[in-house]
Amino acid sequence: MPKLERYLRAVSVAFSVICATTHTPVSAQTVREAIERETTAVEVKMIAWRRDIHEHPELGNREFRTSALVAEHLKALGYDVREKVAHTGVVAVLKGGKPGPVIALRADMDALPVTELVDLPFASKVRAMWRGQEVGVMHACGHDAHTAILMAAAEVFAKLRNDLPGTVKLIFQPAEEGVPPDEEGGARLMIKEGALENPRPEVIFGLHVVSIGRVGTVAYRAGTAQSGSDTFHISVKGRGTHGARPWAGVDPIVIASQIVLGLQTIESRQVDVTNEPSVLTVGIFNAGNRSNIIPDTAELEGTLRTFDPQMRDFIMRRVKETAQAIALSGGGEAEVEWTSDGYIPLVNNVPLTRRMVPTLQRVAGSDKVLEVKAVTAAEDFSYFAQEVPGFFFWVGISAPTMLASLAAPNHSPRFRIDEAGLPTALRAMVNVAFDYLNGDAK
Ligand SMILES: [Zn+2]
Ligand SMILES: [Zn+2]
């Protein structure tokens, strides 16, 4: 009898192994088919949300309407929703029907002080106050698409909740583009207010739509993918006088003009360009209010993009020394201030990136997934990726008929999203999440 028992047990173990090995791939395939079905089903809604959000853009820390729309949608889907994180942020958790890890997905919701010049039925006509000036407001960086994509992904996770092996945490973030003066916000404030706690995700994913990619393409970079950014303000003090008698005063406009050029020689003559790239741009030059008056002061503001901390320190020091020395040579003074609203470089976790690339290739097609150079745009997803391993990738949204290099870039008043790129973004996001949770993208 014991012999027979042993035999039966062996047969039963063998049978269960056979069942498991034949069953697992079929089940994975079924889930993938269900993902495909549900992503297709939600596409029309995703486009409608994107257009609605595009027509009603809101500046950083003022995303009241957008976050209400997001929170209402997530509550209706059965998510556990926390609102007003970092002012207008929404953090939502959905526990799947199967055991598994916790992952986070993040979308940003804010728009930019840009007056839209795109001819669309849902173009923005919104105006708002920004740093004391009335400005047009536009989703010129595509955060309307990011929000709509994650809302659509939320719906797919909820529909497939029983098959979800783990927990998804969705982070809808305000103020990625920066905050109004004297306010805190963005990823750093969300982290401070516990967006990554209870539960803490073991990884985080995010994406950005980019004009430099064509519809259907996905791009990524393992390791440092986006630069850090720092903002400086230079106040040049001269001495006002009549425009006809410049020698009777000190002209801050001429001094500030020399400073603008002097700062570029730091980049072109003083940093080792073979080490890492860096970019310095003066984007604001304010002075004077009449053609025949030399004013007392001129104000400059600019941004520095770096990938290397030592290079960053060096350039920051040289900006100060250069501005002060040039001002002194003209008989004036320069005060240089680096503000604290800069972002650290965005570093994609290398093993996580390598692990998820096959998913992107399966979703978009291997010939449509490219590893590209690092970019000099900054992104505060970097702070999430500093806390837990992160992977942030780029999705193309330029029309196939257009040379992507000629498409109006993100932040331009002519920035235009070809919505045919959004289903790829949605599939990428949902499949990255499922594959990670399933552990089958290793
Ligand atoms: Zn942007
Ligand atoms: Zn952006």
On the question of pLDDT at 29 being above 90, the answer is no
Which pLDDT score, from 0 to 100, does residue 266 have?
A: 97
Distance 410 CA to ligand 1 centre (A): 6
Mean of all residue pLDDT scores within the chain: 93
Q: What's the confidence (pLDDT) of residue 13?
A: 45
pTM summary value: 0.84
Q: How far is the CA of 33 from the centre of ligand 1 (A)?
A: 34
Q: Spell out which residues have Cβ within 5 A of ligand 2, the ion.
A: 141
Residue 20 has pLDDT above 80, yes or no: no
Q: What is the pLDDT of residues 374-415, one digit of tens each?
A: 999 999 999 999 999 999 999 999 998 888 788 999 999 999
Q: What distance in angstroms lies between residue 406's CA and the mean position of ligand 1's atoms? A: 18
| 173-196 mean pLDDT | 95
Q: Quote the pLDDT of residue 15.
A: 44
Q: Rounded CA gap, 54 and 144, in Å?
A: 6
Give the Å distance between the CA of 279 and the centre of ligand 2: 18
Active site residues: 110, 176
Ligand 2 centre to CA of 234 (Å) is 26
Residue, of 441 and 313, whose pLDDT is higher:
313
- Residue 293 contacts residue 242 (beta carbons within 8 Å): yes
Over the range 287-311, which residues count as b (16 or more CB within 10 Å of their CB) and which as e?
Answer: bbeeeeebbbbbebbbbbbbbbeeb
Residue 442 has pLDDT above 50, yes or no: no
Share of the chain above pLDDT 90, in %: 87
Q: Kindly indicate the confidence band of residue 10, based on its pLDDT and cuts at 50, 70 and 90.
A: low
Hey, what are 263's tokens?
Answer: 């700062």
